[in-house]
Amino acid sequence: MRQGLPRRGRRRRWPHRRRRHRAVPHHGTQRPQLAAVVPVEGVSSLFVAVEGPNGVGKTTIARLLADRLAELGSAGVHLTGEPTRTPLGQLLRRQESFLHGKALALALAADRAAHIETEIIPRLDDGLHVVTDRYVASSLVLQRIDGLDLGEIWSYNRYVLPATVVYLEDHPEVIRTRLATRPQLTRLELAGSPEKELALYRDAAAHLHRQQWRQHVVVCHGLTPERVVDTILGLLPADGP
């Protein structure tokens, strides 16, 4: 799979890399046959962003996807997420209640820029697959909940490294039940709702489609996490050359 990724041994500065790709929206719930996932072993480094509303299961699926990719091929896998675990990312996690609107959006964009430059691109250059729990689409959703318009949010993120985006969806009632089990909700979780986030993620997907990002939608309802990952793996080889 060539996705505008830097070749091994050659470092490129991501803000100037504007290679574009055709988006592939897809809904899938069927368990793939093994033959559909084996080709992952033969493709070049994958950069996959797992996205979806709060409570849909992104962290679990991103972790399982990274584990399965590691099992299927000889390439290593790097699991990451946003906000990052850097001092800036940790500050953002702690201060979300105090940072609002443009200030939060700019800080998240700065964290993402460092994430790409110092973590994602170097791992891809080393031949690893990279799976991230949240990426640009999260900003296109959560910063809208925080009062910004999509155009402004995109202006802070338009030069990022494109990823193959996997959107997880489930019934709003299921998501709401999961959120209710959390000991505390963040400010943006309280400000939004499963219905609102699902709608905004669809807006984000439509916007990234216009930017020619590769995208897939996986409906998780009634599926175990393992079956969800099977579905994702069945989609990823289709992104190959």
pLDDT in tens, the chain (241 residues): 434 333 344 444 443 333 333 333 333 333 332 222 223 444 479 999 999 999 999 999 999 999 999 999 878 999 999 999 999 999 999 988 889 999 999 999 999 999 999 999 999 999 999 999 999 999 999 999 999 999 999 999 999 999 999 999 999 999 999 999 999 999 999 999 999 999 999 999 999 999 999 999 999 999 999 999 999 999 995 444 3
Distance of CA 3 to the CA centre of its chain: 15
Q: Please give the pLDDT value at position 75.
A: 86
Q: Cβ of 192: how many Cβ atoms within 10 Å?
A: 21
What is the enclosing helix (H) or strand (E) of 197? helix 194-210
- Judge contact between 48 and 195, C-beta under 8 A: no
CA dist 58 → 51, 103, 113, 169 (Å): 6, 25, 21, 10
Which of the following CATH numbers is that of domain 22-239: 3.10.20.30, 3.40.50.300, 3.40.640.10, 3.40.50.150? 3.40.50.300
Residues 6+ apart with CB under 8 A from 184: none
Peptide bond into 83 cis (omega under 30): yes
Q: Please give the pLDDT value at position 237.
A: 59
Assign residue 174 a region: left if phi > 0, alpha if psi is -120 to 50, beta otherwise? alpha
Q: Please give the pLDDT value at position 97.
A: 85
Residue in 62, 212, 208, 217 with CA at minimum distance from that of residue 136: 208
Q: Helix axis angle, 150-157 relative to 136-145, nearest 10°?
A: 150
Q: Please give the pLDDT value at position 73.
A: 83
- Judge contact between 219 and 29, C-beta under 8 A: yes
Q: pTM for the complete prediction?
A: 0.81
